[in-house]
Amino acid sequence: MPVMTYLDAIRQGIWEEMERDPSVFLLGEDIGDYGGAFKVTAGMLKKFGAERVIDTPISESAIVGAAVGAALMGMRPVAEMQFMDFISCGFDQIVNMAAKIHYRWGAKVPLVIRGPSGAGVHGGPFHSQSNEMWFVHTPGLKVVVPATAYDAKGLIKAAIRDDNPVLYFEHKFLYRRIKDEVPEGDYTVPIGQARVAREGTDIAVITYGAMVWTALEAAEQLAKEGVSLEVVDLRSLLPYDEQAVLATVRKCNKVILLHEGTRTGGMAGELAALLAEKAFEDLDGPIVRITAPDTPVPFSPPLEEFFLPNAKKVAEAARKLAAY
């Protein structure tokens, strides 16, 4: 099976959908000739033409609003945010226009908003945010967060084919750092389905995005110490895979909830509430959250390193929890 980067997998997924379905088109800043700030859309203008790969003015609200309009007319727009941080400039069109149309009057809005999120590259407070939870709190949207190249391709295809607005959060740290096997040809990864990234028996680590790799690194370390971590990659946050979350906790009876987003109102809080409701009897230890602290993402390398969860922090927490 071909091995490719996370970034190439996204590109291939979009490319194949563009070939498969003429209603799919792209819009965003610098995505044409330039191929996008991170080159996700490189080569697409040449292949698909300027009507399907649209360079826009710096107008995020209009990018999203126009995508909504086109979606209502039967197209499947894929809008790029140059950085997911800038999605706030299109916020109203997403959370009020796109998200509520189907509920209010039954029309479908099949659009995708995608772009790089996440920290680890010294981008500072405005190029590093993990702001997926802004949208997880908005019924009517779907939110996906691929961690592997395989899922990146499968989820972008699923997102494009979905009849609802889907926010597709790429992690910029993974773009060229992660490579894995991606089958040739068509496949999708269903939205709302988690996967077990590593089987284990002692502690469940439930996470998503770049932190999947952090959890796997910690699991590797702890395996040497005789503690078995099971790593569950949520892949979708809205809707999220309740059954998979409950299953891993019922199996391991201890749980660490891990993410790069900030703590209060983070995904871990939601999962902890679910576990308190539905898996109370299955827990043999306190629910442990490992998250970024409640601060903006700082720029300077030592600050950013302190801010981000890492394998060492996960391993330490896991050791403590194992001994509980």
Partner 1 sequence: MTKSRNHRIAQFPDADTLGRMLYYLKLTRAAEERIERVLYRQGKIVGGVYVGRGQEAIAVGSAIQLDEGDVVLPSHRDFAAYVIRGFTLKEIFANWMGRANGPTRGRDNTLHLGDMARGVIPIISHLGDTCPVACGVAMVLKWRGQGNVAVVHFGEGTTSRGDVHEAMNWAAVMKLPVVFICNNNAYAYSTPVEKQYAVKDLTVRGPAYGMPGVKVDGNDVLAVYAAAAKAIARGRAGAGPSFLECKTFRMTGHSAHDAAEYVPHDLFKRWEEKDPIRRLEKRLRAEKILTRGEISEMDAKIQKEIDDAAAFAEASPMPEGETGLEDVYCGQNCNWGKTSVVSRLLSFATDNGPRTTDN
Ligand X SMILES: Cc1ncc(C[n+]2csc(CCOP(=O)(O)OP(=O)(O)O)c2C)c(N)n1
Contact residues for partner 1, defined by CB under 8 A: 29-30, 33-34, 37, 55, 57-62, 82-83, 85-86, 88-89, 121-127, 293-296, 298-303, 305-307
Closer to ligand X by CB, 90 or 266: give it.
Answer: 90
Name the residue among 60, 141, 132, 156 with its Cα closest to residue 102.
Answer: 141
- What is the 8-class DSSP label of residue 26? E
Q: In the annotation, is 102 catalytic?
A: no
C-alpha to C-alpha distance for 245 and 291, rounded to whole angstroms: 18
Count Cβ atoms below 10 Å from residue 292 Cβ, excluding itself: 22
CA distance 1 to 213: 21
Distance of closest approach, residue 82 Cβ to ligand X, in angstroms: 5
Closest residue to ligand X, based on beta-carbon distance: 86
Catalytic entry in 127, 137, 171, 259: 127
Strand partners, 232: 196, 206
Site for ligand X, rule CB under 6 A: 29, 58, 60, 82, 86, 89
Q: How far apart are CA 200 and CA 137, in angstroms?
A: 31
Closest CB to ligand X among residues 89, 196: 89
Q: How far is the CB of 92 from ligand X (least distance, A)?
A: 14
Ordered DSSP codes for 99-136: TTHHHHH------EEEEEE--SS---TTS----THHHH
Q: How far is the CB of 174 from partner 1 (least distance, A)?
A: 18
Q: Please say which residue, 86 or 299, places its beta carbon nearer to ligand X.
A: 86
**Of 265 and 298, CB closest to partner 1:** 298
Residue 221 token pair? 């370390």
Least Å distance between CB 90 and ligand X?
Answer: 9
List the 255-262 sheet strands across, edge first: 195-198, 229-233, 203-207, 255-262, 288-292
CB of 112 to partner 1, least distance (A): 22
DSSP state string for 249-314? HHHHS-EEEEEEEESTT-HHHHHHHHHHHHSGGG-SS--EEEEE-SS----SHHHHHHHS--HHHH
- Residue with tokens 């107008």, as numbered in its chain: 59
- Closest approach, Cβ 33 to ligand X, in A, equals 14
104: how many CB neighbours lie within 10 A of its CB? Answer: 8
Q: Which does 265 bind (CB under 5 to 8 A by kind): ligand X, partner 1, none?
A: none
- Which residue, 116 or 146, has its beta carbon nearer to ligand X? 116
Query: What would the DSSP string read from start to end of 132-171?
Result: THHHHTSBTBEEE---SHHHHHHHHHHHHHSSS-EEEEEE
- ∠ CA 156-118-91 to the nearest 5 degrees? 70
Q: Select the binding partner of residue 300 from partner 1, ligand X, none (C-beta < 5 to 8 A, by kind).
A: partner 1
Instruction: Give the active site residues.
Output: 127
